[in-house]
Amino acid sequence: MDSRDDAGYVHGEIIGVPVSEKDIYVDALDHIERTSMCDSAFDPPRFIEVMDMYSTEQRYVVEVDIVPSISIVKNRVYSVRLPNFKESSNKIEHEKETIYRRVGSKTEPSDRDGRREEAEHCRYVNTPDICQDLGRKLTMLITSGKKFIEKEKWYILVTNKFKPDDLSNIDFLLNMNIFCVFDFYPDSKLSGLCSKNIQHHAANIHFMQNYKIPSGISIADFVSHLHLFEQTSWIFCNGRSDYKGNENPSDEMTWIKTKMTLLRESVSLICKQILPKGTFTVVFLLTSPVEKPLLHTFYEFFTDMEGHEDIICISESEDNYQKWQCFAEGLCGTETVNRSSVVGMKMSHVDATPNTCLST
């Protein structure tokens, strides 16, 4: 966003645009591809939602990547002409055809394909080996850098819907000392992670409103009443389909309006009054597309834990991770988020890794 118009925005602020029909953008891109003869150089449009905690309006950045490989553009020149609509003539007029190349932060005129060919050749020949030992990284994060998982260490799991295949790879969760689970999948007790867990361990089935201390009740009595520390507490954060009471799932916007305060109170209670700082790690396990309630949960933990030090993220899908990453980086920076995230590791491998560092 450019601040020259003094519209109340910070220079460089990303505000996005409302998108009611995504097909319009797809159709427009199809038209450009047909008329420009360079369809192979266009990626499909991506709609990246702009996350604003204080707005209920959905806005997007519409991203169209132009990724021309040398095999497509070699010995060909593509001109750029920006359209201008003239109200006086009711016609679209185009600027003079110009060929540009990007050099750092500058855009310079250029008509040389050789530069692109050389750059692409160097990129493929000299690319360093960026593969990480994800298993070792996961072990270091789970154990906080120690050889084994500490018996006194508690884990808080934040998750959503599991795919059937993923549910066959959860032994590592069954063996971890999980204090509670913030579960956003309404069917979890029927067909999700909760259903698998209760086949092996007893669990306290709770809602977020259960984590509000009545007046006159001490923390010790509250902990005893909810049977905390005795068995894992399963907190259904977006309704529960098998529950006969008034606990129906909500869409994102309704959840923000009706459940946000409950989330804030429950996270604050656990982090500030029940579990001492440094005695627990929060694990975000992204097994399905990330929605706003999950992002708000990260924000609340980040705030109440006073930082990202004991928060880790595991995601096999890079698509699921990207939305979470964009939001998290706005709070604690790219380096911190990357350092505490394990992305692209198959769930079967994730399942096998922590079991190797359980103390006997």
How far is Cα 112 from Cα 115, in angstroms, rounded to an integer? 6
Percent over 90 (pLDDT), the chain: 42
Tens digits of residue pLDDT in 153-185? 999 999 999 999 999 998 889 889 999 999 999
Phi and psi for 343 in degrees, rounded to 5?
A: -125, 135
pLDDT, residue 144, reads 83
Tens digits of residue pLDDT in 121-155? 434 333 333 334 888 899 889 888 888 888 889 99
Would you call 109 helix, strand, or coil by DSSP?
A: strand
Q: Is 61 left (phi over 0), alpha (psi -120 to 50) or beta?
A: beta
Of the pLDDT bands very low, low, confident and very high (cuts 50, 70, 90), residue 34 is low
Across 19-28, 79-88, 289-298, 330-339, the highest mean pLDDT is recorded for: 289-298
pLDDT, residue 99, reads 65
More confident call, 189 vs 100: 189
pLDDT, residue 23, reads 76
pLDDT over threshold 90, residue 286: yes
Tens digits of residue pLDDT in 90-120? 777 766 766 666 555 556 665 545 545 544 4
- Tell me whether strands 59-63 and 46-50 are parallel, antiparallel or unpaired: antiparallel
Tens digits of residue pLDDT in 205-254? 999 999 999 999 999 999 999 999 999 999 999 999 988 878 889 999 99
How far is Cα 161 from Cα 251, in angstroms, rounded to an integer? 15
What is the DSSP secondary structure assignment for residue 346, as one 8-state letter? -
pLDDT, residue 126, reads 36
Mean pLDDT, the chain, rounded, equals 81
* Nearest Cα residue to 311 out of 326, 330, 298, 293: 298
pLDDT, residue 145, reads 82
pLDDT over threshold 70, residue 33: no
- The answer to whether the CB of 270 falls within 8 A of the CB of 222 is no
pTM over 0.75: no
pLDDT, residue 53, reads 66
Tens digits of residue pLDDT in 48-59? 777 776 666 778
Pick the CATH number of 134-355 from 3.40.190, 1.10.8, 3.40.50, 1.10.3470: 3.40.50
Burial class for 12, CB neighbours closer than 10 Å (0-12, 13-18, 19+): exposed
More confident call, 75 vs 324: 324
More confident call, 126 vs 260: 260
Of the pLDDT bands very low, low, confident and very high (cuts 50, 70, 90), residue 62 is confident
pLDDT, residue 118, reads 47
The residue ranges of every structural domain in the chain are 3-126, 134-355
